[in-house]
Structure 1
Amino acid sequence: MSIPQVTVAGKSVGRVGYGLMQLTWNPKPPAEEVSFAAMKAAADAGATCWSTATFYGPDFANIHLIANFFKKYPEYKDKIVLVIKGGADYTTIAPKGDDIDFVRKELKHVQSILGDKTIDVFSYARLPDAPLEEAFKILVTLQKEGLFKDIGASEMSVESLDKALKITPIAIIEIEVSLFSFEPAIRSVVDWSRNHKVPIFAYSPLGRGFLTRTYKSPEDIPEGDFKKYVPRFQGEAFYENLKLVDKLDEIAQAKGVETSQLALAWIVSLSDYTIPIPGSSNPDRVKSNTSSANIKLTSDELTTISDILDSFEVKGTRYPAHAMKDLMK
């Protein structure tokens, strides 16, 4: 079954994409063949726009995984639009987008791994502290050198997007969007995307597993998992936030869909340009996630969800305090 489409980097892609982070940036990453099965399931289901980053695992692990997938399944190379984030130190993820030599070397290394697969979109994972104009002019220079096709944006505010758009067209914006993360700044970017007809990659669309009750308590989160340090997953905040999931479960049950599917269908409903990018190593889950693009929410259901989001205050920030400064710059 086909799913609704939108154009990214000149190609038509499914309105649900695929996030590959957990396949390598994970305390216990799945075996390569397990990842391949999920990646193939995503592409076959219509999730043809993929999100990766240079730092998703040690030594460009995610990029190597993708390259190995295309070696095994070369017929998928042209089907996938590859969106890569980088411009960051691989160990601290500190922004390095103000250093053209660093970014150029990084991109050349990524291309050497990918071989003849094009980098369709490249963006900084986070903006550097340098003036935005300087950082984006670096991207334009590297684009003209042929190191990637189109320029993207990640975790940027409306004000920064306006500045960037005066320098270069933007192929896609990547920000966290979910029923668990829909603060005013995020809503503003969704509105900006709609008004400028620029697609959005909605990452963590299932609230990092919170909306699917992957964890019953903070203690269920494994050691080494990033969520151990996220305030909204800690202590009393965790249990308070579960009250939101209770409300969403009721709506999903009444509609006869999974809460995960409701959450993804809601993101698709936000505009013609939103692309949730759930990640999973389970092919059946990948298919279920992707099929959510075909679920239509009624006006009554959308109103009910909006009322819940407007009245429910999520407890705790979406990143640890030290990382919040680099969000929505």
Structure 2
Amino acid sequence: MPIPAVSLAGKQVGKVGLGLMQLTWTPSPPPDDVSFAAMKAAADAGATTWSSATFYGNGAPGETGAAFDNLRLLGRFFRAYPEYVGRVQLVVKGGIGPGMDITSDLAFNRHLLAHARECLGVPIDVYLPARIRPGADPVAFFRDFDTLRREGLFGALGASEISAGTLDKLAAAGIEISVIEIEVSLWSYDDDVRAVLQWSAEHAVPVYAYSPLGRGFLTRAWKTPEDVPEGSFQKHSPRFQGENFYKNLKLVDVLDEMAARRGLTTAQLAIAWVSALGPYVVPIPGSKNAERARQNTEAANIVLSKEEMEQIDEIIRQFPPSGGRYPEDHSGALMQ
């Protein structure tokens, strides 16, 4: 059964996409055949918009400060399965230089995009800075990236970790944002997130809802804080540490019970809830397991009743997340 579609950067894509980060930016990346099976399963089920980045990898950064592992994986995939070229929309984050510094420098990003295209072997549909440089004027910052778009280096411009107020400033300056990538999940749904979702609904701009499964926490990927692998983002996230971990499991316990009553996996319930938050909200779960990738994508067809949505709202109120999304000193901790 086809999943619902949404228009993103001028293309009709599935209302659930695919996040590719965990295929390369993880302590133990899966082999190509495993990754390719999951990618194909997701696309075949309808997840036809994929999220990647120049820095999703463990390899040596090189002169650009980017590992490019994820883009090289995509390049190998498209060479092995050329029938997916053009069928899948690529949304690529960049604007990150050596030392993970955020930059809108035109010469640097031209070089970064040229290398990205070389790795991919196919055009980039949407390019977006991974973050706004702290202290930068957002209009001037995005105008640099829009210059690159007008030069034809990618199809459309997106934004990540951006607030509704900044989106208003960009719109007033005539800078068109085609997709907004923010974290949205059952434990990432604060006032700033709600404001962006409202902005999305009012302006018909899709939200790329990343980490809809709470970076694996909502699916019980780990049973204790000690199970979280060294070298992973989660090892440094306050929500995965010490007592916070066990407090947050109380939310998962309740969600497991609700999902079981509906005959769903907890992942499907979580993705269906995120998708139901707005007509332009596109969850982008990631998985290296082909069957889970298919199940996650098919969650777009799950309809939650008004009563179920209200029940989930009450669950969120009763079990707020313990700990912040990012370490306090992390530059991605706040929307700008």
Aligned AA for 2:128? S
Q: Within the alignment, does 1:229 sit opposite 2:214 as a pair?
A: no
Maintained 8 Å contact 1:126/1:327:
no
CA distance in 1, matches of 2:123, 2:150: 14
Q: CA deviation at 1:33?
A: 1.5
Q: Within the alignment, does 1:84 sit opposite 2:92 as a pair?
A: yes
Aligned AA for 1:74? P
User: 1:182 — aligned with what?
Assistant: 189
Q: Within the alignment, does 1:245 sit opposite 2:252 as a pair?
A: yes
Which secondary structure does the structure 2 equivalent of 1:122 belong to? strand
CA distance in 1, matches of 2:75, 2:31: 15
User: 2:69 — aligned with what?
Assistant: 61
Task: Flag the 1:43–1:8 CA change in 2: closer, same or farther, 3 A.
Answer: same
Q: Within the alignment, does 1:122 sit opposite 2:127 as a pair?
A: yes
Maintained 8 Å contact 1:200/1:273:
yes
User: 2:34 — aligned with what?
Assistant: 34
CA distance in 1, matches of 2:83, 2:27: 31
Aligned AA for 1:81? Q
Which secondary structure does the structure 2 equivalent of 1:147 belong to? coil
Q: Percent identity?
A: 53
CA distance in 2, matches of 1:199, 1:93: 27
Task: Flag the 1:241–1:324 CA change in 2: closer, same or farther, 3 A.
Answer: farther
| Range 10-19 or range 127-136, more displaced | 127-136
Which secondary structure does the structure 1 equivalent of 2:29 belong to? coil
Which secondary structure does the structure 1 equivalent of 2:329 belong to? helix
User: 1:261 — aligned with what?
Assistant: 268
Q: CA deviation at 1:325?
A: 5.7
Q: Within the alignment, does 1:138 sit opposite 2:148 as a pair?
A: no
Task: Flag the 1:72–1:156 CA change in 2: closer, same or farther, 3 A.
Answer: same
RMSD: 1.2
Aligned AA for 1:180? W
Q: Within the alignment, does 1:327 sit opposite 2:329 as a pair?
A: no
CA distance in 1, matches of 2:277, 2:317: 15
CA distance in 2, matches of 1:269, 1:225: 30
Maintained 8 Å contact 1:9/1:81:
no
Task: Flag the 1:254–1:326 CA change in 2: closer, same or farther, 3 A.
Answer: closer
**What residue ranges of structure 2 are gaps of 5+ in the alignment?**
60-66
Mapping of residues 11-22 of structure 1, within 5 Å? 11-22=11-22
Q: CA deviation at 1:137?
A: 1.0
Which secondary structure does the structure 2 equivalent of 1:118 belong to? coil
CA-to-partner distance for each residue in 1:160-180, whole Å, 9 max, x for gaps? 111122332111100000002
**What residue ranges of structure 1 are gaps of 5+ in the alignment?**
none
1:151 aligned residue (142, 145, 157): 157
Q: CA deviation at 1:114?
A: 2.0
Aligned AA for 1:125? A
Q: CA deviation at 1:94?
A: 2.2
Which secondary structure does the structure 2 equivalent of 1:201 belong to? strand
Q: Within the alignment, does 1:74 sit opposite 2:82 as a pair?
A: yes
Q: CA deviation at 1:326?
A: 5.2
User: 1:209 — aligned with what?
Assistant: 216
| Range 212-221 or range 311-320, more displaced | 311-320
| TM-score between the two structures when normalised by the length of structure 2 | 0.95
User: 1:295 — aligned with what?
Assistant: 302
CA distance in 1, matches of 2:291, 2:126: 28
User: 1:100 — aligned with what?
Assistant: 106
Aligned AA for 1:157? S
Aligned AA for 1:289? N
Maintained 8 Å contact 1:8/1:81:
no
Maintained 8 Å contact 1:122/1:150:
yes
Maintained 8 Å contact 1:206/1:260:
yes
Aligned residue pair count = 326
User: 1:173 — aligned with what?
Assistant: 180
Maintained 8 Å contact 1:35/1:281:
yes
CA-to-partner distance for each residue in 1:106-157, whole Å, 9 max, x for gaps? 1111112222x22110000000132111111111111111100100010001
Which secondary structure does the structure 1 equivalent of 2:209 belong to? strand
User: 1:310 — aligned with what?
Assistant: 317
Maintained 8 Å contact 1:178/1:263:
yes
Aligned AA for 1:271? G
